[in-house]
Amino acid sequence: MRGTVTDIIPFSVNDGPGIRTSVFLKGCPLHCRWCHNPEAQRPGPQVMVNESRCIRCGACAVCPAGARGAHGELDPARCTGCGVCVSVCPAEACRISGKEMTPEEVMARILPDRPFFRKRGGVTLSGGEPMEQPAFAAALAILLYRENIHVAVETCGYAAPEAYKAILPYTGLFLFDWKITDPEAHREWTGQDNRLIRENLEMLYREGAEIILRCPVIPGVNDTPEHFRGIAALTEKFPRIRQVDLLPYHALGNNKRRQLGLPEDGFMAPDEETASRWQKELQAECRVPVCR
């Protein structure tokens, strides 16, 4: 069995409790317009071009898919991730995002990090959406479980319920996104409404899963009292939800978007005062801790 992995990042402190190694799987059913991991949206490998290294030599115009222009311009829709441009580029300006790996190969990368996990840490399966590769994610979770390594699954919630049921016995914590409470606004900004996401949250809660809600807040999209009340309502309805993580928008995804040949997302990161106000407003509504 092989899965497509965009990255394996050790010493992560923002993807669950303690010190963790985060494994990012490729492919996502949503298209959030503020996406911070745009290289993980498409399921297959694709090229990324570092403009600051590119010397515009045009060698990559040999691209068999016709995805590169005479001076290295990238048409991302045509890229098949074949890697030809990476091999001919004299400036090391191109790289492929998305590597096929077996669960055992991923484990070999993780196990040296184990001493840093101590009691609280472990491994977080993230993406993209890890449930887009359900068999691979479950196989990896089983290997980690057998090694007594804590597994967290960071999910957008939009996947087949069976995928969650398969990985649940090996998962210590779900970092479950709740992005926009209004279903139509959710569809407008992410490409899908949130009905399935709500149902999966309810199912996981009913099955006894440990859950932290992850709530990205994007200025002009979901920084509204209605949405904050919607988050609070979920913590009332599902009182075992441990905490709410408020994730203020940041612009780091734009650097990756440029490398992927995509336009910038057009959002502005909030200043500290605004982010802190959001946290206070949300905390005033919620019975569980609201963390940043």
Binding stretches for ligand SF4 (CB under 6 A): 28, 30-32, 35-37, 40-41, 47, 49, 54-60, 63, 65, 67-68, 71-72, 79-85, 89, 91, 93-94, 127-129, 156
Beta strands (DSSP E) in 3-63 are 3-12, 20-25, 46-49
Measured on CA atoms in the order 273, 274, 278, 284, is the torsion positive or negative?
positive
For 119, phi then psi, to 5°, come to -80, -35
Q: C-beta of 144: minimal distance to ligand SF4 in Å?
A: 21
Beta bridge partners of 291: 245
Least CB distance to ligand SF4 at residue 284 (A) = 26
Q: How does DSSP assign 107-151, residue by residue?
A: HHHHGGGHHHHTTT-EEEEESS-GGGSHHHHHHHHHHHHHTT--E
CB of 8 to ligand SF4, least distance (A): 16
Residue placing its CB nearer to ligand SF4 in the complex, 38 or 230: 38
**Is 60:95 a contact under the CB 8 Å cutoff?**
no
Give dist(CA 257, CA 79) in Å, integer: 15
Nearer to ligand SF4, 47 or 201 (CB): 47
Report how far residue 114's alpha carbon sits from residue 150's, in angstroms, rounded to the nearest whole number. 10
Q: Which residue is nearest to ligand SF4 (CB)?
A: 72
Please state the closest distance from residue 86 (CB atom) to ligand SF4, in A. 7
Cβ proximity to ligand SF4, 82 vs 203, nearer residue: 82
Q: Are 74 and 47 in contact (CB under 8 A)?
A: yes
In the bound complex, what is the minimum distance in angstroms from residue 96's beta carbon to ligand SF4? Answer: 6
Shortest separation between residue 236's beta carbon and ligand SF4, angstroms: 25
Closer residue to ligand SF4 (CB): 82 or 196: 82
82 vs 142, beta carbon nearer ligand SF4: 82
In the bound state with ligand SF4, the residue whose beta carbon lies nearer, of 107 and 211, is 211
CA 204 vs CA 18, 161, 176, 231: distances in Å: 23, 9, 10, 17
